[in-house]
Amino acid sequence: MPSADNLSEAAKIAHRAFIDMSNSKKAHFDRLLAIDAIYESGGAPSLAENLELEKLLANHDKNVLAFKTAIVAITDDAEKQQLLQLMS
C-alpha cells in the first residue's frame, strides 16, 4: 500500500480531507443508527436529537466540499492514482 508521506502537499491535504470526510460520514451515520434503534418501535427523535443530526450532517457537508476542492487541486495524474489507492 502506498504511503501518504511521499505525496505532494496538495495531495496530503486531499488525503487529510478524505479522512475527515470519512470520519464525519461515520459519525453522522452511527448517530442516525443509534437514534433509529431507540425509536424503532415507535416514537420520534427529540428536537435535540434532530439538531444533533443536522449539526453532524452540516459538518459532513463541509468536509465533502473541502475534499472536492482539494482533489481538483492535484494536477499530477500519477499522484491522483496514488491517492486513490490510499483511499481504497
| pLDDT for res 2 | 67
| pLDDT for res 1 | 59
**Residue 75 lies inside a defined structural domain of this protein:** yes
| pLDDT for res 57 | 98
**Residue 16 lies inside a defined structural domain of this protein:** yes
Residue 42 has which C-alpha cell? 415507535
CA angle 11, 14, 15 (to 5 degrees): 85
- pLDDT < 70: residue spans in the chain: 1-2
| pLDDT for res 6 | 86
User: Which residue segment(s) compose the domain that 70 sits in?
Assistant: 8-87
* Total structural domains within the chain: 1
| CA pair distance 87, 85, nearest whole angstrom | 5
| CA pair distance 51, 55, nearest whole angstrom | 6
**Residue 2 lies inside a defined structural domain of this protein:** no
**Residue 51 lies inside a defined structural domain of this protein:** yes
| pLDDT for res 41 | 85
